[in-house]
Amino acid sequence: MLMYFSEISNIYIHVKWFTDNFEWVPLPFPRVVTLTFLFWLAFTLFVLLVSSVFNDPLGKTRPVVRIHQFLYRLRPHTEVILRIGLAIGLVLQLLSGSYLAPEFRTNSMWIILGLSAAAACLLYQRTLPISGAILFLLYIQASLNYGIFHSIDYLIYIGIVYYLFVCGTPLKKTAAPVMYVCTGMSLAWLAMEKLTIPELACSVMGSYGLPTFGFSIEHFVMISAFIEIGLAWAFIVGIMSRFTALLVSGIFIMTSLVFGYKEVIGHTIIHTLLILFLIEGTGDLRTPFQFHRSPVLRGLFVSVNFCLFLFSLMALYIWMGKTL
């Protein structure tokens, strides 16, 4: 079983919606951490620090307060929005012959039946935990078939499963923070792919002839990776959550215009979560960022922990990419 699991993991070790080449492995640390890498790391830290400083002042301005008041009135409808968006996403996957993600193919009848049942159970609040249980089983199935290294890209489903289980219980207020963390981890894991295996993204960009806005393809891929990891960290610690959700949604809309139906299928459920984030904001619980009131402590918390998060995740990604 272990030999089988390792063999499958080596075949499907990256997100490959648009390429059939599976022969990529992560670069070692010395080849990743270059002067260019350090420059964009410093720039990302600067942006995160500026965001942390202006997080509260911007939230108190009159236009922003009015927008927040309007969004707060939509909070009672977040559950319905999630159920509708999730159902649409699951139906699109079913019609395309995939489950959870475009590259996870439905190769057995029980997966098709499970996906159908998960979508059907979203119709009633009492059956939401059943949908959650089915999605969790499908996530385990994807991990066994394609490798856990690959399935980490889709940790958002763990957040969705948690939401479906706690919906209608006193624990519902913890659902938003859990989904923020899971979404952030998914974005961060995708960023690791661009940082440690830049040739993969470069080959896709070259094939599609995408613009790089004056940068070389290699530098543009690295910049994209730091944008992803920066947005991921903002989600995890709770910096400007609504603005971050809006920015990520805009990026996904633009990529859908370029790559077409695969991006639509892959991002429909993510767009639903981003709509929820826009409405919920930071939620009812304090975020890690809000535990510190002093601007200096907030800055240290954001910068130091971001570096620890980045390099620890990169080390884990490189290790898993070479051993699994």
**pLDDT recorded at residue 12:** 34
CA angle 316-321-323, nearest 5°? 95
Domains of the chain, by residue range, sit at: 2-323
Q: By the 8 A CB rule, do 52 and 289 touch? A: yes
**pLDDT recorded at residue 121:** 95
* Reported pTM: 0.86
**pLDDT recorded at residue 1:** 33
Q: What is the mean pLDDT of each run of 10 residues along the chain (324 residues)?
A: 33 43 74 93 93 82 85 89 94 92 88 95 93 96 89 93 92 90 93 85 61 73 89 89 80 67 81 89 75 82 93 94 78
Number of Cβ atoms within 10 Å of the Cβ of 319: 12
Q: Which two tokens stand for residue 292?
A: 């510190």
Instruction: Give CA–CA dist 81/1, Å, rounded.
Output: 41
**pLDDT recorded at residue 265:** 81
- Phi and psi at residue 271, to the nearest 5°: -60, -40
CA–CA distances in Å: residue 144 to residues 2, 11, 97? 10, 12, 18
Helices 156-166, 175-196: crossing angle, 10 deg rounding: 170
